[in-house]
Amino acid sequence: MSALTRSIVLWCPDWPVRAALRKYPSIAAADPIALIEKGLVFACSAAARAAGVRRGLRVREAQARCPELVVLPHDPAADARFFEPLLAAIEQTVPGVQPIRPGMCALRARGPARYYGGEREAARTLLGVLAEHGVDDARAGVADGPFAAEQAARHPSPEPVVIVAEGESPAFLAELPVDVMGDAAFTALCRRLGLATLGALAGFGEAELVERFGETGLRVFALVTGRDAATVVPRAPQRALERSVAFDDGLDRVDQIAFAVRQTADDVIAALAAAKLVATAVTVTIETDASTGLSTGDGGERPRTWLHPRWFTAVDLVDRVRWQLQGVGPGTGALTAPVTRVTIAPESVDAAHHHEQGLWGGAPDERVHHALSRVQSMLGHDAVVTAALGGGRMLEDRQVLVPWGDREPEGTAARAAQPWPGALPDPLPATVFLPHVAVALLADDGEPVAVSERGFVEGEPALFAAAPGARPIGSAAEARRLARPITAWAGPWTVDERWWDAAGASRVHRFSVVDADGTAWLLIHDGEGWAAEARYD
């Protein structure tokens, strides 16, 4: 059996709450806070715990126990993001950190203990690093193996550093309740069997535990007897792949900035190439003069993440910066203040050899991509789109246009799969007007046909007028001049959507009309006038 790894585990209690406080600076640390995941409390602050809130409670139960509870959604990505600087700071002090989960990391104890003259001194130094970064209640545990060290760090003791002497781990673990195993089904079973502590479990032999629990038993026996074979596997240090360029005087012309970031874009791609990586998503952050510092929210800093159907080249990066400056797409605005800094950070990277060209050139799709990218750099990112089917009753809701290279909005496919009573049956009109085109439907006497509040047609439709070139009809006189007889009509079909929501409600009556040429139109009457939604041509 391999020797045990003497380990240090650093633990920041209530890390998700701490991360949430950094994410929402307006919330005070002393407030009772609960983070919710799937309707249950995932983590809570000390004040909330004092009021009786516990992990695993339902939200309602927690609010009943503590009416002033601040309820926030749990964001695992934020947990990891805010823990990253701490890991980097620890790595600066002692190399070889293994992140266990956000808020907890493990190190080998041997090196730092010799360097700082003892395990306690090493642990205190590391806690000092964490305190410098704003975590003043962190705790450290030193023991044989990461599991025992984690339990030592969690051990309730007035001293922030708990050291379990070498070889003492089994005795230390024997006192602990079985719940520290963290496996809910297994601990519940142990409790039903009357085994309350790890010591009681360890009292059985290895053979008995394996016979009763199988592989789980083997793992549990290794842990509870302090023979944890796990070692500390340090993570690879992160390479800094992001690059930025600062403009001292601030540039306010798009072409100037696009020219200036060219070198930066080359640097980003060169750094990626040196690491044998390619970027498939990058975040471009543009800081303007209006910002007073690095704080977000004052509008001075505009990050946006761009995806790429294949991978980014330097030219693509310059294009993305240009589009973002020109205010294309969501999350961007037109250039209003001089730009002081542009940062390009690769967001997701992939090994370059996954993307190498074949010996005889690439697939035909590659040519398609190049052509479309060329059109995008001519007209802008969202000028080239692919269509996806969405869900809805009106035709414009049922097609979703996605810029080439972007993902379709989340839930589009799920909405398309839902039944939409009131949607059009086959055959569908091939021409869909976006926006709708104003037309006129007239009775025999030249008066517009009206539809009452309750959906009754007032007047028999006899004449139909649509201006050529999908131009809206402006006046009643123009309508009468263009009017031509219709051969068939049917309707109304009322589409009454979101009636419970005053802002989003829409109530329209649909009609089908066949004009003298034999072209069928899908018309809607919205209570005021007639418009063409689509044409069967």
Partner 1 sequence: MSASLASGSGGALEKAAADLERIRELKSRIAGMERTRLETRSIATLPAFSSLLPGGALQAGCAYSVGGSMTLLMGLLSGASQAGAWCGVVGVPEFGAEAATRFGIDLSRLVLVPRPGRSWLAVTAALADALTVVVTRPFERVGDADAAKLAARLRQRGAVLISFEPELLLAAPPTAWPGAQARLTVTESRWSGIGRGHGYPRERLVTVRADVASGRPRIVQLRLPGDYLGGTAPQAAPLLRLERVS
Element at 263 (helix H, strand E): helix 254-274
Please choose, out of 35-43, 162-170, 184-192, 483-491, the segment that lies near partner 1 by the rule CB under 8 A: 483-491
- Among 387, 411, 458, 527, which residue sits at the site for partner 1 (rule: CB under 8 A)? 387
Backbone φ/ψ region at 300: left (φ over 0), alpha (ψ -120 to 50), beta? alpha
Residues making up the chain, counted from first to last: 537
Interaction between residue 357 and partner 1 (CB under 8 A)? no
Please choose, out of 189-197, 240-248, 378-386, 445-453, the segment that lies near partner 1 by the rule CB under 8 A: 378-386
Please choose, out of 236-244, 319-327, 344-352, 368-376, the segment that lies near partner 1 by the rule CB under 8 A: 368-376
Q: How far is the CB of 281 from partner 1 (least distance, A)?
A: 20
Q: How far is the CB of 454 from partner 1 (least distance, A)?
A: 17
- Among 354, 374, 407, 498, which residue sits at the site for partner 1 (rule: CB under 8 A)? 374
Q: How far is the CB of 278 from partner 1 (least distance, A)?
A: 22
- Among 210, 385, 443, 476, which residue sits at the site for partner 1 (rule: CB under 8 A)? 385
Nearer CB in complex with partner 1: 311/433: 433
Beta bridge partners, 515, equal: 486
H helices of 55-182, in order, are 59-65, 76-93, 110-116, 119-132, 146-154, 169-174
> Are residues 338 and 252 in contact, defined by beta-carbon separation less than 8 angstroms?
yes
Could you give phi then psi for residue 509, rounded to 5 degrees?
-110, 125
- Among 481, 488, 496, 527, which residue sits at the site for partner 1 (rule: CB under 8 A)? 488
Q: How far is the CB of 484 from partner 1 (least distance, A)?
A: 12
Amino acid present at 164: V
Nearer CB in complex with partner 1: 195/522: 522
Interaction between residue 171 and partner 1 (CB under 8 A)? no
- Among 398, 436, 509, 525, which residue sits at the site for partner 1 (rule: CB under 8 A)? 398
Which residues 6+ apart lie within 8 Å of 222 measured at CB?
A: 228, 229
Q: Which of residues 445-464 bind partner 1 (CB under 8 A)?
A: 457, 460
Interaction between residue 80 and partner 1 (CB under 8 A)? no
Interaction between residue 420 and partner 1 (CB under 8 A)? yes
Interaction between residue 174 and partner 1 (CB under 8 A)? no
Residue whose entry in the numeric block shows the structure tokens 């329209």: 508
Burial of 274 (0-12, 13-18, 19+ CB in 10 A): exposed
Q: How far is the CB of 425 from partner 1 (least distance, A)?
A: 6
Nearer CB in complex with partner 1: 83/489: 489
Q: How far is the CB of 462 from partner 1 (least distance, A)?
A: 9
* Coil vs helix vs strand at 43: strand
Q: How far is the CB of 496 from partner 1 (least distance, A)?
A: 17
> Are residues 360 and 464 in contact, defined by beta-carbon separation less than 8 angstroms?
no
Nearer CB in complex with partner 1: 336/386: 386
Beta bridge partners, 46, equal: none
Interface with partner 1: number of residues (CB under 8 A): 53
Q: How far is the CB of 279 from partner 1 (least distance, A)?
A: 23
428-to-49, 198, 223, 356 alpha-carbon distances in Å: 59, 68, 65, 43
Cis peptide bond upstream of 492, omega within 30: yes
CA triple 453-454-456, angle to 5 deg:
100
Interaction between residue 483 and partner 1 (CB under 8 A)? no
Beta bridge partners, 514, equal: 488, 520
What's the CA gap between 44 and 49, in Å, rounded? 6
Quote the tokens at residue 107. 């190190």
Q: What is the dihedral of CA 64, 66, 72, 77, to 10 degrees?
A: -110
Can you spell out the DSSP letters for 373-425?
Answer: HHHHHHH-GGGSEEEEE---SSGGGSEEEEETTSPPPTTHHHHHHS--TTSPP
- Among 136, 159, 458, 537, which residue sits at the site for partner 1 (rule: CB under 8 A)? 537
Nearer CB in complex with partner 1: 102/429: 429
- Among 25, 361, 425, 504, which residue sits at the site for partner 1 (rule: CB under 8 A)? 425
What's the CA gap between 426 and 533, in Å, rounded? 16
Interaction between residue 388 and partner 1 (CB under 8 A)? yes
Site string for partner 1, 492-521 (x = CB under 8 A): --------------------x-x--xxxx-
197: which DSSP letter?
B
Please choose, out of 65-73, 130-138, 321-329, 395-403, the segment that lies near partner 1 by the rule CB under 8 A: 395-403
Q: How far is the CB of 367 from partner 1 (least distance, A)?
A: 4
Q: How far is the CB of 360 from partner 1 (least distance, A)?
A: 18
> Are residues 161 and 142 in contact, defined by beta-carbon separation less than 8 angstroms?
yes
Please choose, out of 1-9, 14-22, 32-40, 375-383, the segment that lies near partner 1 by the rule CB under 8 A: 375-383
Quote the tokens at residue 445. 């006497």
Nearer CB in complex with partner 1: 293/427: 427
Q: Which of residues 83-102 bind partner 1 (CB under 8 A)?
A: none
What's the CA gap between 325 and 309, in Å, rounded? 21
- Among 240, 430, 477, 503, which residue sits at the site for partner 1 (rule: CB under 8 A)? 430
Q: Which of residues 7-46 bind partner 1 (CB under 8 A)?
A: none
Residues of the shown chain interacting with partner 1 in the complex, contacts defined by CB under 8 A: 367-368, 370-372, 374-375, 378-379, 383-389, 395, 398-399, 401, 404, 419-421, 423, 425-434, 457, 460, 468-470, 488-490, 512, 514, 517-520, 534-537
